[in-house]
Amino acid sequence: AQSVTQLDSQVPVFEEAPVELRCNYSSSVSVYLFWYVQYPNQGLQLLLKYLSGSTLVESINGFEAEFNKSQTSFHLRKPSVHISDTAEYFCAVSPINTGGFKTIFGAGTRLFVKA
Amino acid sequence: KAGVTQTPRYLIKTRGQQVTLSCSPISGHRSVSWYQQTPGQGLQFLFEYFSETQRNKGNFPGRFSGRQFSNSRSEMNVSTLELGDSALYLCASSDGLARGDYGYTFGSGTRLTVV
């Protein structure tokens, strides 16, 4: 079975400051790792994903996440946040090749960017 | 390319009634997964359908059921509604193939309120 722990339920930060949203996971099989973002009254959008290869992955809007296998972590970072980054962020894992898709989500971290 | 379409967007039902929600995935996607999102429990996996077959199932009671049609459109049904079924129900579309990247495209959700 898999589980995902997002260590902070809320993260307030000032505009243009750096931010890190923490994610740890547990799994007995290999997994793919994802970050999704949810804006108010909308569904989730895929922000970035780690499938294989370089452990540092980037999104088009300046976020990056690093896969650390030894620490089973996949923290999300951005060096300078904008007001528009205010949203809820979900870390997720999908077990590989176990028959079908079953993505497990963390509880979410609400990022609040203040002016 | 059209996105994932969920209908209706909002529903109000009375305890004991049943409800059917609909999801049309992205054209060409054969996998449809359903999630229940609540403030207390986060995103909980309901089930996944691929080519009209249920491939994965979460830990929900039998009152929650689903099906998928030959055109990949999916419906989920909840019978004998309870107040605790009030939630945002999200549909997620994917190509469903093991050689794919397991990433989801989500619909905007159906917000169900049970009174």
Give the minimum alpha-carbon distance from B16 to chain A in angstroms, rounded to a whole number: 27
Which pLDDT value is given to residue A109?
97
Which residues of A are less than 8 Å from B10 in CB distance? none
Amino acid in the structure at residue B27:
S
Which pLDDT value is given to residue A35?
96
pLDDT digits (tens, 9 = 90+) for B26-78: 999 999 999 999 988 889 999 999 999 999 899 999 999 999 999 999 999 99
Q: How far is CA B25 from CA A36, A95, A98, in A?
A: 18, 22, 23
DSSP-assigned letter for residue A111: E
Q: What is the mean pLDDT of each run of 10 residues along chain A (115 residues)?
A: 92 97 94 92 89 87 93 96 96 83 92 96
Which residues of B are less than 8 Å from A43 in CB distance? 4, 6, 90, 106-109
Pairwise CB contact (< 8 Å): A97 & B109? no
Choose the mutation target among A33, A44, A90 for the interface with B, i.e. most B CBs under 10 Å.
A44
Mean pLDDT calculated for residue range B76-85? 97
The span from the CA of B43 to the CA of A38, in Å, is 12
- Whether the pLDDT of residue B23 is over 80: the answer is yes
Beta carbons of A25 and A7 less than 8 angstroms apart = no
Whole-number average pLDDT of chain B: 93
Nearest chain A residue to B32, by CA: A101
- Whether the pLDDT of residue B97 is over 80: the answer is no
Which residues of B are less than 8 Å from A41 in CB distance? 108
- Whether the pLDDT of residue B99 is over 80: the answer is no
Beta carbons of B85 and B114 less than 8 angstroms apart = yes
